[in-house]
Copies of this chain bind each other. A is one copy, B any other.
């Protein structure tokens, strides 16, 4: 199956291109490398999903939010490459909006990492850091940025 067929089989729809909240762009390409701007989770009607993970939102719910953020990153990647079959994920930096005693950041950002591997197979495997923030834009639960490569 192609990545698009896998998305369809999972009932997943890539969200529309984001509208940056400032003087920047959704991605920047240098040679074959694309740097994708940080992306948060949004509901189908475009509202940001918010709250402190470990207090307002569970790690399990935040896993689903990281998956939504990952869909947003894939959407930008498809715009950049024309076809997800030509995308390799290189690096993911996952920011979790967590309370100070939260410790399960990897379980949250796995929502994005698992999606990338489900949809892209071996091309979805990436280096990664998952860290806990004091706060995030719009009080979003997670924000994830990525470096990808066009094959």
Which A residues have a C-beta under 8 Å from some C-beta of B? 20-28, 30, 33, 35-38, 52, 54, 90-93, 95-107, 109-110, 113-114, 116-117, 124-139, 143, 145, 147, 149
**Bound-complex Cα distance A65 to B133 (A):** 20
Asked whether A101 lies within 8 Å of B135 as measured between CB atoms, the reply is yes
Asked whether A134 lies within 8 Å of B137 as measured between CB atoms, the reply is no
15 contacts across the A-B interface (CB closer than 8 A):
A22-B113, A22-B130, A23-B124, A24-B113, A24-B126, A25-B125, A28-B125, A35-B91, A36-B127, A100-B134, A103-B137, A103-B139, A131-B136, A132-B135, A134-B135
Asked whether A22 lies within 8 Å of B135 as measured between CB atoms, the reply is no
Asked whether A127 lies within 8 Å of B37 as measured between CB atoms, the reply is yes
The count of identical subunits is 3
**Bound-complex Cα distance A57 to B22 (A):** 20
Q: Contacts A30-B90, A91-B28 known; A37 to B139 CB distance under 8 Å? A: no
